[in-house]
Homo-oligomer: A and B are copies of this chain.
Amino acid sequence: MKQRLAAIGTVETLPHRVAAFLSREIESGELNPGARLPTEQELSEKFGVSRNVVREAIAQLRADGMIEARQGIGAFVLAPEQRAAIRIDREALKDTHNMERLFELRCILEAESAALAAARRGQEHLDSIKAALDRMGGEERWEEGSIDADLLFHREIARATGNSYIHTFISFVCEQIRHSIHYARMTNPLHNLVEINVGEHVRIYEALVAGDPAAAEAAMRAHIIGAANRVGVKLPLPKSSGAK
């Protein structure tokens, strides 16, 4: 049971906390790009942890391209443009407004990707997508399993584009959304809030089978707008004026 809790809550380790603190300080602008961080020793004293912990925290920030450490001089904050990784703060996703932004990004990515997938999908891709579709709606289970199948459905479509970067990006965004929905379900007793509309998925699948990019794009767009609505996020006019 404790193990289960650890898997969900992700026990906060000391380096993680230090890294999160520094990260926020940089994001908020208290430490501008080019600024020099306190020395490792100063930080270890400030947080009351060993220098080892501080180093692990800095190693993480450095890997992300947020700071650059130079031997003999110190560590410096880098400009946000030269980040080597994209990382989304899950705390921020508890805000509905941010959820809305994330859904908007997802809509952009997935709609056009669906069009690409319709043009390039092979039979093997269709099979994988169909399998996910069956797992999703076969039984009337609106549970974890169905959500997994839902995500798999979207990932398989992304894979059918043949573009690994698109696959990576879409997988990432979907996973963030899944996480925040999971959180919403934990705090909100309305479990049925998360409801999967199988019909929308079927329409996407049919467009892919037909190899019709425009239809696939439209179906995917409609689906994501619908999905956003079902979790209480109203998506503001994506592609409203540009459609016609």
Contact = CB atoms under 8 A, between A and B. Distances in A.
Contacts of A135: none
A238 B111 CA distance: 13
Contacts of A83: 171-172, 175
A108 B81 CA distance: 20
Contacts of A237: 119
Copies per assembly: 2
A85 B64 contact: yes
B85 A239 contact: no
Nearest to A162: B101
Interface residues of A, number: 59
A88 B242 contact: no
A113 B242 CA distance: 11
Interface string A50-66: 00100111011001100
Contacts of A55: 52, 56
Interface of A: 3, 6-7, 15-16, 19, 52, 55-57, 59-60, 63-64, 68, 70, 80-88, 98, 101-102, 104-105, 108-109, 111-113, 115-116, 119, 151, 155, 163-166, 168-169, 171-172, 175, 213-214, 217, 237-242, 244
18 contacts: A6-B70, A56-B59, A63-B64, A64-B85, A81-B151, A81-B171, A84-B88, A86-B86, A86-B87, A101-B164, A104-B163, A104-B165, A108-B112, A108-B166, A115-B242, A119-B241, A213-B242, A214-B244
